Amino acid sequence: MYVAASTACLPDLPLEGAIDLLADLEFTMIEIDLHEEGGHYKPSELLADPDAAMHRIRFSHRLDISSYSIELASSGEQHYADFKEICRFAKASKVVTLTVPSAELGTPFNEEVEHLQKLVDIAESEGIRVGVRSQLGRLSEDPDTLMVLCDNVHGLGITLDPSVYMVGPAQGKSLDRILKYVYHVHLRDSKKDVFQVSVGQGEVDYGKLIAQLEREKFDRALSVHITPMEGVDHRVELRKLRRLLDSLL
């Protein structure tokens, strides 16, 4: 297990600025958000010029990349064609884990299973693995639904965000049965009624979570995923959680 940080922690900085700041905070691994809306690098730009993207993302900084978070704007068969190119890019940049969103609430379950199986099959052909992200307002906000998804989609994993299950409708449900599927982790501090609070003021039991993941032989990234909060020194928060996680490993 190792500590990383998501560039999503720094939404107001360009990619290079976010990477430089995270390096200054002594992170050695990063997760890069490739989101068409609000991300640090648009998938459409990457697909239009993969060589330029490779230089900018892989070769222009001193941090290793733990994973990519992917949110494409395309749909239908174009979506799967674009995803295949993203998988090829990930392989070329020596990244194994991709995070994708799950469908919104109300999406037919079988439709989501079919969609995710297509993504997993495409990824596995390039030696890449796919983790579906824990998110409020989506099918993955319930750990029981998430477990059934993973049971039905061969090769699918989870990008686990424990905060989702502290504050959402699944509050209080056990995560034990989904831990074996975890490929990647997003972390911040949270309370039962507040999704994100200052590190140390919440109720996330990082030590317990790490011990549970160790039992499942999890050996990938714990990615700090804190967004800026008004009146709080953001750099201090990022450094604080990095040091806390480092001390527990």
Structure tokens at 49: 């010029």
Q: Using one digit for the tens of pLDDT, what is the confidence trace for 22-32?
A: 999 999 999 99
- Binned at pLDDT 50, 70 and 90, residue 56 comes out as confident
- Binned at pLDDT 50, 70 and 90, residue 58 comes out as confident
Q: Using one digit for the tens of pLDDT, what is the confidence trace for 2-43?
A: 999 999 999 999 998 999 999 999 999 999 999 999 888 999
Helix (H, G, I), strand (E, B) or coil at 134: coil
Distance CA 170, CA 130 (A): 23
Distance CA 229, CA 115 (A): 35
The dihedral region occupied by 75, where left means phi > 0, alpha psi between -120 and 50, and beta the remainder, is beta
pLDDT exceeds 80 at position 1: yes
Q: What is the mean pLDDT of residues 198-219?
A: 95
10 Cβ partners below 8 Å, 6+ apart? Answer: 17, 18, 21, 22, 228, 234
What was the pLDDT predicted at 62?
A: 77
pTM: 0.94
Q: Using one digit for the tens of pLDDT, what is the confidence trace for 117-171?
A: 999 999 999 999 999 999 999 999 999 999 999 999 999 999 999 999 999 898 8
Tokens 């430089």 belong to residue: 20
What was the pLDDT predicted at 60?
A: 56
What was the pLDDT predicted at 212?
A: 95
CATH of 2-248, one of 2.60.40.10, 3.20.20.210, 3.20.20.150, 3.30.70.360: 3.20.20.150
Using an 8 Å Cβ cutoff, are 60 and 100 in contact? no
Distance CA 237, CA 224 (A): 10
What was the pLDDT predicted at 57?
A: 84
